[in-house]
Structure 1
Amino acid sequence: MDGDLDSRKRKRTSHACDSCRHRKVRCDGRQPCATCSATGEDCLYGAEAIPKSKSDLILDVVLRSENMLREMAAQMQTVLAPTTPVDPRIASSPLAFFSPPTVDSTHRPVTSPDQISNAILSQFHSSTTESILAWPHFKDFHPLRQNYQGSVFYLESRRSPFKHRSSGSLPYVGKTELDHILQSFEQNVNFWYPTLSRNKSTEVEIQILSNSLDEDMASCLALLVMALGCASEMIRSISSDTIAGLEELEKRHRWQLMSGLYFDLAFKKIYLAQAECTTEAVQCLFFTALFFAFLQRPIQAWSFISAAAVKCRLLLSYPASEAEPQHLECLRRIFWSCYILESDYLAELAALPQTGIADIESSIPLPGEYHTHSCPTTEEHSSLYFLACISMRRLLNRVHDLLYARNNGVASDIYQFPSVVAELDHQLEKWKDLLPPPFQFTEDREPAKSTEAGFLRQRYLTCKSVIYRPYLTWALSLTTRGETVSPAVYEGCKTCLQACCLHAENLHPFPQTIMIDTWICSLSMASVMLIALATARETSLRTCLPANATEIGPHLGKYLAQWMRVPGHGVSPSVMQSIRLIEDASQSLSDIVA
């Protein structure tokens, strides 16, 4: 060991530090060297005339990194302090909500530097619906326990395998009907996740009309677009919130059948996308994930989101010099779409392996110019909506991580979480205030200006309830011990409950919710009912609930029971379990209030 140290010293004495070289004195090659230690100067080895060996260069990098990490760790171990005020320039920018200012890093006692700049959702966080069901406040509610059949992952992994037709013919569509399907795809799927360019859409139209589908990825992509377009048209009918007649029901069944036929044909070619690493392959994998989300098969949807995200990350890490700008923009948009969806699934299945895209999200440019829609105004609104969803997902990830991370979330620390909650709520309100006019909404039960505004309001209310949940858990722990709840804690608890209940009351047949988010929505609404039930159990907190709290359960059950049968490929057992939890919690809530 001593011989190795002497050998390294002999090697490095020929590479004196900058300070010793300038003074023309002997340098012992250490970091810091004896001379710099005595004088208090920075000891740097960056300007030698003689080039260093690779091992010396690596050592330099390691030493500098260690110093940097020590400094950052010292800063992050400080006690929570108020964050700096938001830069006034932000409010003047109409695009500021694209990437709202993040929470000050001093809020985190111990964390990695990357996790500060990147909005990462920690594994095994404690804010899932299953975590809420494990609260001790439900031990006396036997129906909840009896009807709980197992974890979400257990239920979904044991359901019957996805079956597709072994043989099937391509559905015939004329020019008018084809335009209708592609328009429905553009106005729905490509509005929420604007990843398909108009050029690609034209290519799809030509391929379908000419029936020139081969064993290639272009054909796979065309079939997936058609499958999602037909599904979108079916969802459009369901989201009208009117009682459908016989003719309308027959149309829905036809769209359902056609979407399944197109997807079966596409799925036979998906091995091509799995084997290749191109922009088109990534797009095929992503659209497959969206269709599995429509089928309410979360494990399969997550699997294809992961596959698309990994290849997307790889292609963005090694961009081809001759790559067309539109291909790069397409990849970035798929990256952000995967970031949103992967985070959504991780929010409820906290143990899912992560792809790592959240680790680099701060280094990926936000969506830029990309021709996705025939109408310029719709294209602009789509981009703005997409950016609003990205910024909300980033904020949600920070909320989950700062408050509910497994090892260092502060939700249970009564000395730390109030200032974190205040800052997160401030960021949430800035996001809401800076939304473009088409997507602005009020924090009440008034109908939103558009379905997109209504969907964003749901995201906002979800975020608000999760931010203020630490006050509720604190209040519940106080009442369980027979202690008094302070006015500040009561108000925080009330804010959480109001957001929860408004979130449930404002659930309506938004196309995006029905087509992509039914599984996630069912779990989220089950957590709302569980939280309401836990609150109603405590007499001193019951006044936090709205007067119509007992009406929420039937309202949720009406929609979710209808939506779970939309795919026509079997019912998701975890969605079914969520509906049972909602019904049981609603009945127990009614018994308590009565």
Structure 2
Amino acid sequence: MHGQQTGCSSSSICFRSLEIIMDIGGEPESRKRKRTSHACDACRLRKVRCDGRQPCSTCASAGEECGYGVEAMPKNKSDVILDVALRSESMLQKLSLQLQSIIGSKIPVDIQGVTSPLAFISPATNESNHQLDSPADHISNAILSQFHSSTTESILTWPHLQDFHALRQNYSGSVFHLESLRPPLKHRTAGIVPYASKSEVECILQSFERNINFWYPTLSRATAIMVQQQILSNNLDEDISSCLSILVMALGCASELVHSATVDTIEKSTYSEQRDRWQLISALYFDYAFKRIHLAQAECTTEAVQCLFFTALFFAFLQRPIQAWSFISATASKCRLLLSYHTSEVSTDSIECLRRIFWSCYILESDYLAELSALPQTGIAEIESSIPLPGEYHTHASSVDEENSSLYFLACISMRRLLNRVHELLYARKGGVASDINQFPSVVVELDNQLENWKVLLPLPFQFSMNKEIIPSAEGGFLRQRYLTCKSVIYRPYLTWALSLTARGDSIPPIVSDGCTTCLDACCLHAENLSGFPQTVMVDTWICSLSMASVMLIVLAISREDSLRRCLPFGVVEIGPNISKHLTQWIQIPMQGLSPSVMRSIKLIEDVNSSLRTILDS
């Protein structure tokens, strides 16, 4: 399965081809693909491209009826990708309609009159500067509003944690300020391109394809071959093409560094040698490329957008969230511009590349906004419903890996869209219903239904069970973590409702207790299943540290209440050490300075776990 990888050794570099068997239909790959079978009747008649929506963009703009007849041809494996995309799109469209009907008659909630921890979250000073669009717009486009109330910093302000004075005092500072005061990344005065043999270059590029280009499939095989030829010929110049090639090499080396640091079977001495080697080479490549990134910032081409995007990913690997967000923002803005003004001269591959980078930025920008709610937004979320989902694009040497990568990418996109809707409908500063006990239960039911539908739609290689069982596919494990995050955020209003009831001395109805248990089970299983998934370590360590801190704070708040303590799963005190162990290992992998906010999260988790043990032991 994908995720069981073999690293490049320092002496002889070899690589096993990855084989993923998908039990989804078996027409021969030689059969010519018939995309027209997914076009609507009107587009098929006109012989124009159809995006497969209901209605499609062409019919919607023309005001015509959009209908789909019987399949013209049998479907092969590649067609399954589009099927999943269309089913996911249909699911989200139904969600939009159902939720609009639920909140359509919504009366604004008097926040000051609500007895809930959410009533005390987010400073009122931001209110005058924050104006939301209509709820319908935010549901149609899966937007994550600024100043939402589901960040880790917001949870720390819950009134039910007010007795933990040391926690509030020691961890009340802004994550943004911690990271913004961080010393800048050190660069060498002279850029040096490391020497790499042909086998080493092949290994590095295979690592890039197996990891980065599997999670964010944006680099075409044609470009990857060009990169290999340019590196082997040492034909590097002061141009964007060279900058792109070096960034691909830097990310490939970083992927190998993550692999060598997270595989348990490597001996300590061998691990140390490999780690030092890959760290040095990745740093040298990135240093060389970063000195030329101004070329990408000055141009407006697909290659320039790719350079900015890969720079953002490398800063995410370095656990520098401010710099990563800065380049994600620059990438998204330029990508949006090129998609808005592309001409017929632009190749189909270039357009598809830009669309895939658009969706990658959508995922990453939303991830960062989930924890830094005041970050300025690029506006890509406001137009996401008008951008076609990923289509045909040659990204991998193996057609099976290519199909699985596209399916995985679609799964990540649809999950991020659902997460944004959850945050928007429940926790938006103006309009979120999480604190309204008369409205949120129906919203929670619908959101949970859509989450379960998402899980059912997952292709076989990425399916997972709801327990602590190890999943063969690292991507399946990563998606399970996303699922559990979404589940816990959906049911969190029940937890805050239960805390409010205990504060007043009221009894807890069964429906509230059940919802509270569902939230806590998802939170704790999320923490228990924390593992060194390459994507988590490579891109999400900073975000993961804050998410895990949220889990610990929620558990601590519940542990104080005798009537709610029974909702906690058995062995909850073992969660903190597991989280701390993984984060402490991951923070040291880049070897480019430790992230102060990740370090603070680790310390917070350890302090919370100490308080938790004291409470439960008593």
TM-score category of the 2 structures, normalised to the smaller one = 0.7 to 0.9
1:1-400 equivalent positions in 2, closer than 5 A: 94-96=84-86, 98-99=88-89, 100-101=91-92, 102-103=95-96, 104=98, 105-109=100-104, 111-148=134-171, 150-242=173-265, 244-400=267-423
Q: Distance in 2 between matches of 1:112 and 1:436?
A: 32
Gaps of 5+ in 2: 1-79, 107-133
1:472 and 2:495 are equivalent in the alignment: yes
- Contact 1:97–1:391 (Cα < 8 Å) also in 2: no
Q: Partner amino acid for 1:524?
A: S
Between 1 and 2, higher relative CO (CA 8 Å, sep ≥ 6) is seen in 2
In the alignment, the residues of structure 1 paired with residue 135 and residue 500 of structure 2 have an alpha-carbon distance, to the nearest angstrom, of 31
Identity of aligned residues (%): 69
CA gap of 1:475–1:134, structure 2 versus 1, over 3 A, is: same
Q: Would the aligned equivalents of 1:458 and 1:506 in 2 still touch at CA under 8 Å? A: yes
SS in 1 for 2:422: helix
Kindly provide the amino acid, as one letter, of the partner of residue 224 in structure 1.
L
Q: Structure 1 459/108 Cα, relative in aligned 2: closer, same or farther at 3 Å?
A: same
Q: Does the 8 Å contact 1:149/1:577 carry over to 2?
A: no
SS of the residue 2:557 aligns to: helix
Give, in whole Å, the separation in 1 of the partners of 2:418 and 2:351. Answer: 25
Provide, for residues 386-409 of structure 1, a one-character-per-residue CA deviation record: whole Å limited to 9, x for no partner.
000000000000000000000100
How far did 1:96 drift?
Answer: 4.9
Counterpart of 1:569 (choices 592, 604, 618) is: 592
Distance 2:167 2:570 in 1: 23
Taking the aligned partners of 2:261 and 2:411, their CA distance within structure 1 comes to: 26
Determine the structure 1 residue equivalent to 2:504: 481
- In structure 2, how many angstroms separate the alpha carbons of the residues matched to 1:244 and 1:397? 42
Q: In the alignment, which residue of structure 2 is the partner of 1:401?
A: 424
Query: Structure 1 stretches of 5 or more lacking a match?
Result: 1-89
Q: Deviations over 1:482-541 (max 9, x none)?
A: 111100000000000000000000000000000000000000000000000000010100
1:371 alignment partner, SS class: coil
State the one-letter code of the partner of 2:284: L
The one-letter code of the counterpart of 1:456 is: L
Q: Distance in 2 between matches of 1:457 and 1:241?
A: 22
1:445 aligns with 2:468: yes
| CA RMSD, Structure 1 to Structure 2 (Å) | 1.4
- Name the structure 2 match of 1:66: none
Of 221-230 and 113-122, more deviation after overlay is shown by: 113-122
Q: Supply the AA of the counterpart residue of 1:293.
A: A
Residues 65-119 of structure 1: CA distance to partner in whole angstroms, max 9, x if unpaired? xxxxxxxxxxxxxxxxxxxxxxxxx9x9555554332232123347244222100
Superposed CA deviations along residues 16-40 of structure 1, whole A, max 9, x for unmatched, are: xxxxxxxxxxxxxxxxxxxxxxxxx
Using the TM superposition, give the Cα deviation of residue 249 of structure 1 relative to its aligned residue in structure 2, in angstroms.
1.0
Answer yes or no: is the 8 Å Cα contact 1:224–1:263 preserved in 2.
yes
C-alpha distance in structure 1 between counterparts of 2:568 and 2:175, whole Å: 28
Q: What secondary structure sits across from 2:590 in the alignment?
A: coil
CA contact (8 A) 1:220 1:269 kept: yes
User: Does the residue aligned with 1:386 lie in a helix, a strand or coil?
Assistant: helix
Q: Following the alignment from structure 1 to structure 2, what is the Cα–Cα distance between the partners of residues 502 and 539?
A: 22
AA in 1 matched with 2:280: L
> Structure 1 residues 254-263 or 239-248, which shifts more?
239-248
CA distance in 2, matches of 1:112, 1:470: 20
Q: Residues 387 and 167 of structure 1: is their aligned pair in 2 closer, same or farther, counting only changes over 3 Å? A: same
SS in 1 for 2:449: helix
| Structure 2 letter corresponding to 1:231 | A
Return 165-174 or 95-104, whichever deviates more.
Answer: 95-104
1:552 to 564, 569, 575: 575
CA contact (8 A) 2:261 2:271 kept: no
**Larger Rg belongs to:** 1
Q: 2:520 aligns with which of 470, 485, 497?
A: 497
Does the alignment pair 1:591 with 2:611?
A: no
Distance 1:383 1:207, change over 3 A: same
Instruction: Specify the SS of the correspondent of 2:393.
Output: coil
Aligned partner letter, 2:498 = A
- Give 2:436's aligned residue: 413
Check conservation: 2:218, 2:353, Cα contact below 8 A. yes
The AA in structure 2 aligned to 1:158 is L
Query: What is the alpha-carbon distance in structure 2 between the residues aligned to residue 325 and residue 96 of structure 1?
Result: 21
Given residue 103 of structure 2, which amino acid in structure 1 is its aligned partner? R
CA distance in 2, matches of 1:152, 1:463: 22
In 1, distance between residues paired with 2:338 and 2:513?
50
Q: Which amino acid aligns with 1:191?
A: F
Contact preservation (8 Å) 1:241, 1:509: no
Distance 2:87 2:313 in 1: 26
The residue type equivalent to 1:263 in the other structure is: F
Q: Could you tell me which amino acid in structure 2 is paired with residue 177 of structure 1?
A: E
8 Å CA contact 2:527–2:575 kept in 1: the answer is yes
What amino acid sits opposite 1:228 in the alignment? L
Q: Is the CA contact 2:260–2:266 (under 8 Å) kept in the aligned structure 1?
A: no
Aligned-partner Cα distance in 2 for 1:292–1:95: 30
- What does residue 552 of structure 2 align with? 529
1:84 — aligned with what?
A: none
